[in-house]
Chain A
């Protein structure tokens, strides 16, 4: 019987292309908003752009995790677990948690004005990535980030209920974060979801971040 190779070039290629596109768009948003932030030092813009910088980094570490995991499984490599698997996972958890928290805060900072939000969000992100580090479980990260997303939605609904309008941009954020969480399936026990379904998730995710990128580009000519 031929050896069973888990690594699939097609899957890796899809992941690589997806990562490159999303990282390009996230870093592009960070770069394009630099001038507006430099001119205004506006708090909301600061959190918005840092959030996308962190999302970009989170996607990079996600890809690294997938790559190392598939290589390890396929070739039965005795790679240093901590250096190549657990660290990317922990960094992934840290950056993505920071991104979710700061993106949410960029929309509600005028109402909430939490002092030392960077310290608070860093503390939450370090706790989540610490749990990831010790338990090595992407499922826990998915759970924690799903809770954060629900929490963000509740805060936003509470704030928007006063203005009685549904924020289209917040809907985009929720979709983007939702697909980020769904994409974490690739790292977890359900990592071998069919490539077709995974690709559909990726396309929707790229479409959402693409819309955000185009909206940013409109105002940052």
Chain B
């Protein structure tokens, strides 16, 4: 696959994952998120680690010790600014 395309698709994939979380009332368990993201388990883990590292999502645990993923303020900001981000990257061919 074209390297340029692949690097831009990464931003798109992050956008898709964040959108799935938001569309589930901002709370979703990792397994359904993996299923809905259409990624391999390995890729999903990579993306999830990246999202946690970039502070776009956070893990929360409920009283029954079940893990959920939820967007941070930065995650919401990413969704809000996504089109501008893509526009900027395209305009300056970054």
Contacts and interface: CB of A to CB of B under 8 A. Distances in A.
Interface of A: 33, 35-36, 38-45, 47-48, 106-107, 110-111, 113, 167, 169-170, 215-216, 218-221
B35 interface: no
Contacts, number: 63
B88 A107 contact: no
Given A45-B94, A106-B94, A39 B89 contact: no
A107 B74 contact: no
B93 A107 contact: yes
B41 to A, nearest CB: 24
B84 A219 contact: yes
A41 B88 CA distance: 14
Size class of the contact patch on chain B: 10 to 19
B3 A169 contact: no
Chain A at the B interface: SS class: helix
B89 A41 contact: no
Nearest to A45: B94
B93 A39 contact: no
Contact of B54 (A35, A41, A107): A41
Contact of B91 (A40, A42, A219): A219
Given A110-B3, A110-B7, A111-B3, A44 B89 contact: yes
